[in-house]
Structure formats: C-alpha cells, structure tokens
Homo-oligomer: A and B are copies of this chain.
Amino acid sequence: MDRHALRPIRPLGLLEGIEIIDQRLLPHVLHWAKLKSASEVARAISEMWLRGAPLIGAAAAFGLALALRDDPSDAGLESAATRLAATRPTAVNLAWASTRVRRRVAAVSTQDRASAAWHEALAIAEEDAAANAAIGEYGLALLREIAVRPGRGARQLRVLTHCNAGWLATVAWGTATAPIYKAQAAGLPLEVWVDETRPRNQGTSLTAWELGEAGVPHRVIADNAGGHLMQQGLVDLVIVGCDRVAANGDVCNKIGTYLKALAAHDNGVPFFVAMPLSTLDLELADGAAIPIEERSAREVTHLQGITADGRVIEVRVVPEGSGAANPAFDVTPARLVTGLITERGIVAADAAALRALADAGSKLSA
C-alpha cells in the first residue's frame, strides 16, 4: 500500500510545486495536475480538485511554502494563509497546517523561509502518512475483535463507510480505509458497503475506485440504503472519517454521516470515526460552533458521469426552475459515536478522553 495522493516537486532544490490527482475526473480518468503557486493550490482546494481534511491540510502547507518562495514577507505569508484558509471553512486541518508552518517560519530570515516552510510541509505529509498507518493498525485490531464476536458466524466482516476517507483524502493510506487496507493485507476477509455520498458522489467516484484498484470486495449503495442494511444485520460496523472533532467528541463529517450514526445506534452497530489528531479542535466546546459550508446548488442539480461511448459529461437531473440547497457537512453528536480511532489508540468520544489524548500528545512532542 504505497499509494499517494500528493507528490512534492522539487527538482535541483527549487520549489517547483506539487502534483495532485485531479479528483473531479475520477473514477473515469486518472489525471495528475501540477500546482505551481499558492493561488493554484487555493483554487484547486476550493474547486475540489483535491479534498479530504488531511490532504488539504498538507496541500495548504505546501501552498504556503510556494507563497513564501514568491513573497517571503510577513504580509505575503498572512495574505496567503488567509486566502488558503477561506477555501474550505469546515476542515480544521487547513488552519492547523497553516499555524504549524507560520510558527516554523516566524523566527526564520526571509531568505530561508520558503525552504523552512517546505520542510515543515514535508514533515506534515510524512506525519500524516505515519498517523494513518497507525490508525490502520489500531483499526485492524478492532476489526479482528469484532470478527470473532459470538453469533457472527464465519462470513466476512461487512464494513460500511461514507464519503471518501481513503488515501485520496490523505497523503497516504487514508483514515477510515486504513484499517480496511491493513485487514486486506492481513488476510481478514471483509466486504465494504460504499455509500454513494451525494451530491458529489465521493463514495462512488473515489472510495469505490480506490477499493477496486486495491482489489477489496465492495458494493456501492445509495445513501438511503445503509439503515435498511443495518436493520437486516448486514453491517458489522461503520467507519467514517471526519473534518473536525470538537472537544466533547462531536464529529463533523460529510453530510449524511449523522443519519448513518443514528441508524447504527438504533441497531446496535458499532460506529467508529477514524480521527488523526490533526482533526481534533479542542478550542471548540461542541459541534454546534463548527461552521458548515454551504456549497453550490449546482452540485445537487447536475452531475457527472460517463456515456456508453466513453465521454465524461455533465447532465442536469433536477427540473429547470427547481432550486436546491447543499449543506456539505453535518455534526454527529458524540453520544452516537462508539469510539474514535486515532494514531495513539482508540478512545471514547468524550471530553475527558480527548483532553487526556491531547495532553499525552503535548508531553510526547515536548
């Protein structure tokens, strides 16, 4: 499992930019796009060429390095940080990565700032990959434990996931998918229910594509189907990613996550959230304060697919004259979350556990 969704480009020591997969064309076309400036990175994040909280955090860090290459002044840094932070208001990783880079370069001379920022971005990317690998190991242990629960029988584990928290959403491994890829490597039989994830179809376009490329058995389902599958005993656990987790364990993730959490709770199905610590926002007391991005109605009224003769085109599905609303995220209350799978182990979604986790992290990095 060495798939990466972001490649730094630095020929001969020059900071040229980054390469990312233009995810708007998946699953039909795999195209790597070069982003050579902070404004190109900002545009790519805003237009969702790349997405996923961890990945946009890392990309924003590289974006700041590119901004400092072009203007290493404090004003240039702040201007670029503001522009990058505005691209997606919900994910906390953008602010987190930006703060890390700014702290790193604060005391550095202007001529060395770009290089220092670049190295911080590389560190963020490497830490993300390592964190996800660790999430995968803790998640694998969880899957093994659930697989042998009494009454399950010998059939393969069935995991439901929503949206894409795969390697396409991170620097490597993915968060919610890391335990799945680790389980596959360990020979633990499983099948994944892939929520389509309207309106942008990240499940259909990205998660199904990822799992297919990796040879992981999976079936796509309409977002409407998960509750019924749980009622029928066809889901052993749910694992999703997150865009931001508040101090009390409330989880902000892709719109529709809350509905799956309700159904899991109603049917006694474990509901886990894969959460790298970069996604934890202890400054927010609870989920009510998380800004929910409202995206374009066009994401609901139009969608992209491929024709029988191989052309990727957009079609309108809503009648002319009908409007649409498009909140992009929702908040799942901590009471519905069985646990958070982090790079330091699985913890309860409550204030005490998250505080202890963060304190342990501060000691580790101190």
Contact = CB atoms under 8 A, between A and B. Distances in A.
Interface string A191-225: 00110111101001100110110000011111111
A229 interface: yes
Given A222-B198, A223-B223, A208 B319 contact: yes
Contact of A315 (B223, B292, B305): B305
A138 interface: no
A289 interface: no
B224 A197 contact: yes
A300 B196 contact: yes
Nearest to A203: B318
A312 B211 CA distance: 31
A325 interface: yes
Interface stretch (A63-71, A99-107, A127-135, A255-263): A255-263
Interface stretch (A145-153, A172-180, A326-334): A326-334
Contacts of A308: 314, 316
Contacts of A305: 302-303, 305, 315-317
Contacts of A262: 227, 259, 262-263, 266
A196 B323 CA distance: 12
A361 to B, nearest CB: 30
A256 B198 CA distance: 13
Contacts of A322: 194, 204, 208-209, 211-212, 218-220
Nearest to A260: B259
Given A262-B266, A300-B196, A317 B227 contact: no
B326 A208 contact: no
A307 B300 contact: no
Given A220-B323, A330-B231, A317 B204 contact: yes
Interface in A292-322: 292, 300-308, 313-319, 321-322
A324 interface: yes
A314 B303 CA distance: 11
A227 B196 contact: no
Category for how many chain A residues contact B = 35 or more
A228 interface: yes
A292 to B, nearest CB: 7
B259 A212 contact: no
Contacts of A197: 224
Contacts of A194: 322
B259 A301 contact: no
Contacts of A256: 222-225, 227
A205 B208 CA distance: 26
A226 interface: yes
Contacts of A331: 228, 231
Interface of A: 27-28, 193-194, 196-199, 201, 204-205, 208-209, 211-212, 218-229, 231, 254-256, 258-260, 262-263, 266, 292, 300-308, 313-319, 321-327, 329-331
Rank and list the top 7 A-B pairs by shortest CB-CB distance, nearest first: A305-B315, A224-B256, A27-B319, A228-B330, A198-B222, A262-B262, A208-B322
Given A225-B326, A307-B315, 9 more contacts: A204-B318, A209-B319, A221-B326, A225-B256, A226-B259, A228-B258, A259-B260, A259-B263, A303-B305
